[in-house]
């Protein structure tokens, strides 16, 4: 077995995921439908750099993947052998050294997203970035009805999709409606499974939930618990419970070589 390689490249403050990343893989299980979309965008690339790699979700199995993440906790959960401890804004990698770069729900964590996106273009010939558009509607009900504080946090962190596409000089923007049985437990995944938000482990795998203080989150979850017990939530969202998927503004942005 190839010896695991870990390069240490200190850039910027300690990553938030050093604190919240423990147990991440138990909740954030890659969904095959999103995986198929990302694989198609990568287009058979033989060498791929995954920036903000986390635990390695959605990496193509038939490519040589280099995982980049500023969090040692997340790198320790990554199953690969090529690992780089670094921030997106200063990749210790040569120009054009990869067929493709991927970044999945990570750009909003970068201190300087535009610089990080420029780095993706520098080190690869094709880029695939999965992100969320803060300008999209409808809004997830848990934000609108229980935790509007999430809105303030997310709108401060996420770049509009149009801005990400412009920074990458993208040629394709693909919508990804979230299926009701989506397995990757990020914030919107449980839109038709409201009881999931009551689970502290589920909330801990969402950086926004994990950032908010318990004094804000716990009362909101008690209101949700009461609404579920009384049936008020079900009555309010009867039409939502009939839907198979909802477009909540998640997009895969593809740039570079076609």
Every domain of the chain and the residues it spans: 5-256
pLDDT in tens, the chain (258 residues): 333 343 333 333 334 544 444 444 555 789 999 999 999 999 889 999 999 998 899 999 999 999 999 988 889 889 999 999 999 999 999 999 999 999 999 999 999 999 999 999 999 999 999 999 999 999 999 999 999 999 999 999 999 999 999 999 999 999 999 999 999 988 999 999 999 999 998 898 888 888 899 999 999 999 999 999 999 999 999 999 999 999 999 999 999 997
CATH superfamily of 5-256: Vaccinia Virus protein VP39 (3.40.50.150)
- Give me Rg for the CA atoms of the chain: 18
Model's pTM, two decimal places?
0.89
pLDDT 10s digits, 40-65: 999 889 999 999 998 899 999 999 99
pLDDT 10s digits, 163-188: 999 999 999 999 999 999 999 988 99
- pLDDT attached to residue 25: 57
* Strand-strand pairing, 64-69 and 47-51: parallel
- pLDDT attached to residue 108: 94
- pLDDT attached to residue 206: 84
CB of 136 closer than 8 Å to CB of 177:
no
């Amino acid at each position: 077995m190839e010896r695991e390689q870990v390069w240490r490249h200190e850039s910027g403050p300690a990553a938030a995921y050093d604190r919240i990343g423990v147990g991440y893989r138990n909740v954030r299980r890659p969904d095959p439908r999103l995986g198929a979309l990302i694989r198609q965008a990568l287009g058979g690339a033989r060498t791929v750099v995954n920036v903000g790699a986390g635990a390695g979700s959605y990496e193509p199995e038939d490519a040589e993947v280099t995982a980049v993440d500023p969090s040692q906790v997340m790198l320790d959960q990554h199953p690969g052998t090529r690992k780089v401890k670094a921030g997106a804004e200063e990749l210790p990698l040569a120009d054009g050294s990869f067929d493709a770069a991927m970044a999945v729900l990570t750009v909003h964590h970068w201190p300087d997203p535009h610089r990080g996106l420029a780095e993706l273009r520098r080190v690869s010939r094709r880029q695939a970035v999965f992100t969320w558009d803060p300008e999209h509607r409808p809004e997830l009900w848990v934000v609108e009805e229980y935790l509007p504080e999430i809105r303030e946090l997310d709108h401060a962190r996420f770049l509009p999709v149009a801005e990400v596409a412009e920074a990458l000089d993208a040629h394709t923007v693909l919508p990804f409606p979230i299926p009701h049985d989506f397995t990757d437990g990020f914030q919107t995944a449980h839109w038709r499974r409201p009881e999931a938000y009551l689970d502290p482990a589920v909330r801990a795998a969402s950086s926004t939930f994990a950032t908010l203080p318990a004094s804000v989150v716990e009362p909101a979850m008690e209101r949700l618990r009461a609404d579920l017990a009384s049936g008020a939530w079900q009555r309010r969202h009867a039409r939502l419970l009939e839907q198979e998927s909802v477009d909540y503004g998640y997009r895969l942005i593809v740039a570079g070589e076609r």
